[in-house]
Amino acid sequence: MNLLILYWKQITVACVIVGAGLLGYYQGYAGEKAKFDAFKLELSIRTEALQQKNNAIVTEQKQITSNVTKEYANAVKKLNAYYAAHPTIKWVRNTDTRDVSDISDTTESIDGKTESDVPSTVDASPLDCASDVLQLLHLQKWVRDQENVNR
């Protein structure tokens, strides 16, 4: 007890310093917590806005896919109906059977054998080729429409 009376001023100053430090720490923590809470609120608002935008984009992309799929199905039906109505359509074949070299060299003869990785169209019908072209056209339309959505 004698020690408290002897050093009461120093103990009081130390308690005031510790109290001021704790109060400053709490005030700083409260200020940073308020900033962090404001950041979280702003982030949740932005997230909600982006989520709505994303949902709108996904909905539009699904609609484009549905429309292109329906257009393609209708085009295939029309194509099949056309070739069913015109069964006499045949391939127009090239009657020239000379071998052509796959190397462009004007000083050599043209009697070399051709080598190609492209498969032959001998077994393909005009309907097969027209269907392939139709599919590629609709896929290109789908890609263009999807790109326009993302802009």
- Is 129 a member of any domain? yes
- Is 97 a member of any domain? no
- CA 126 to CA 33: how far, in whole Å? 72
- Is 65 a member of any domain? yes
pTM score, two decimals? 0.55
Domain extent, residue 38, equals 9-90+123-149
Closest CA to 114 of 92, 94, 90, 91: 94
- Is 26 a member of any domain? yes
- CA 125 to CA 137: how far, in whole Å? 19
Q: What is the largest CA-CA distance in the chain?
A: 125
- Is 109 a member of any domain? no
Closest CA to 150 of 71, 82, 57, 59: 57
- pLDDT tens, the chain, 151 aa long: 677 777 888 888 899 999 988 888 888 788 888 889 999 999 999 999 999 999 999 999 999 999 999 999 999 999 889 888 887 776 655 555 555 555 555 555 555 555 545 555 556 677 888 888 899 999 999 999 999 987 7
Rg (CA), the chain: 40
Q: How many domains does the chain have?
A: 1
- Is 105 a member of any domain? no
- CA 62 to CA 41: how far, in whole Å? 31
- Is 115 a member of any domain? no
- Is 83 a member of any domain? yes
- CA 90 to CA 84: how far, in whole Å? 13
